[in-house]
Amino acid sequence: MNDAYAHRIAKICVACNSASIRKNPAVLMPFIAERVFGWTPVEITQDWGLRDIKAGQAYSVCNTLTCDDCGLIFLDIRFDDTEMAALYCGYRGDEYNALRDKYEPGYTANNTWRREAGFAHISAVETYIKRHISAPTRVLDWGGDTGINTPFKGQLATHHVFDISSKLLVDGATRVSADEAAGNEYDLVTLMHVLEHVPYPQRTLKEIAAMMGKATVLYIELPYEELVRINEESPGLARQQKRHWHEHINFFSREAIVRLLKTCGLRAVDISTEQGFGYSVLCRLGH
């Protein structure tokens, strides 16, 4: 089926639907493998009695894929809804952090700032958005965690948050389901640091596009990964360099963003990396 949603192991590009993809072997990082699938690294020894398998350390294998048409670099495994819930429910909670510290010693100690303070660059985001629209009053933060990073927070008549986690929201924010959000009108929808995590970015964007009106603006922020930046002209090299996969399962080139938006009935009004915090993308309905 020529539908990126249908694939458990991606066979076409999840941004632009091209079938022209290439692969290279990689490993799924043990934290992800255990949290999502319950798979742990294992030492294969002679005791296993396997005739054709060599002894040694075994990790969960996967493939790094690259799209010849748009330059997207992505993990071949596409997690389903229950697996996404296993990975992100209780995100950076005690259980999450304990498992992560087991495989990545020092993770919690090095990341305490992330839990409370929120992003430091939100005022720059607000300035960027206000270059294109006047200050919004009705905002939906899609994948917005507690709402702590929602641009214009504290100045809004409507501050809605849609998120897979069930954390307590910041003052002034209201949690909404996707169905509830679809029944509302928003000046601005924000999608910050979501698309690099989701298995089917088209599905996420089509859902958002369906609830946008002509005047609604969508602000997307996602990483401009170092691997993409240094291999802009040679995605083949990036494929060979990308030997492990963690929470970010999609690495976007600028072209991948443009084509992804197009497949979802959205038009990029502006794509910028100037601010120094990844891609800032402003889009509206239309081609």
Q: Is 264 in the site for Zn ion (CB under 5 A)?
A: no
Of 10, 12, 16, 281, which one interacts with Zn ion (CB under 5 A)?
16
13 binds Zn ion (CB under 5 A): yes
Residues touching Zn ion, count (CB under 5 A): 8
Position among 15, 87, 220, 222 found at the interface with Zn ion (CB under 5 A)? 15
**Distance (Å, rounded) from C-alpha 138 to C-alpha 125?**
16
Binding mask 139-178 for Zn ion (x = CB under 5 A): ----------------------------------------
Closest distance of CB 35 from Zn ion, Å: 28
State in angstroms the smallest separation of the CB of 4 from Zn ion: 10
Per CB under 5 A, which of residues 63..92 are in contact with Zn ion? Answer: 67, 69-70, 72
Q: Indicate whether 188 belongs to the interface with Zn ion (CB under 5 A).
A: no
* Of the residues 7, 18, 27, 207, which one makes contact with Zn ion according to CB under 5 A: 18
CB of 10 to Zn ion, least distance (A): 11
Which residues make up the interface to Zn ion (CB under 5 A)? 13, 15-16, 18, 67, 69-70, 72
